[in-house]
Amino acid sequence: MNKDYHGSVKAVYTLVKRIFVILKDCKVFFCFGPSIKKCEIDHPAGCEKTGLIVYPKCKPGFTNWDCCVCATICPPRFTDNGLYCLKPKAYGRGVGYVLWEQ
């Protein structure tokens, strides 16, 4: 047998060992506990699960947009377009008043 085959088998064996360590304390088919705990250790502000992946919560001043992007919270009167804030349109104040000398 060639070296690549042995290397692949060894890599699969290592991966399976890691998976069994994670699933050791699970009582269901798939366990998110270790992932959530690791995220919370790395990010004390907290974590949230989206689908099958755990993400750190967004920093203050940002909001979770879609699944995994933290977007800026828009200031008042700005339009929220998801990833960016649209500035209010400019407006006119009329033609003004003419200053006549008296």
Banded pLDDT at 76 (limits 50, 70, 90): very high
Residue entry with tokens 């064996």 = 13
Is residue 98 included in any domain, yes or no?
no
Distance CA 19, CA 12 (A): 11
Six-digit token string for 77: 């009167």
Is residue 47 included in any domain, yes or no?
yes
Q: What angle do CA 62, 89, 70 make, to 5 degrees?
A: 15
Asked if residues 71 and 62 have their Cβ atoms less than 8 Å apart, the reply is yes
**Residue 27: predicted pLDDT:** 61
Is residue 29 included in any domain, yes or no?
yes
Closest CA to 39 of 27, 54, 26, 60: 54
Q: What is the dihedral of CA 12, 18, 24, 27, to 10 degrees?
A: -70
Per-residue pLDDT tens for 13-64? 887 777 666 666 666 555 666 777 888 888 889 988 887 788 899 999 888 8
Is residue 25 included in any domain, yes or no?
yes
The residue segments making up the domain with residue 30 are 3-86
Per-residue pLDDT tens for 79-98? 988 788 999 988 888 887 87
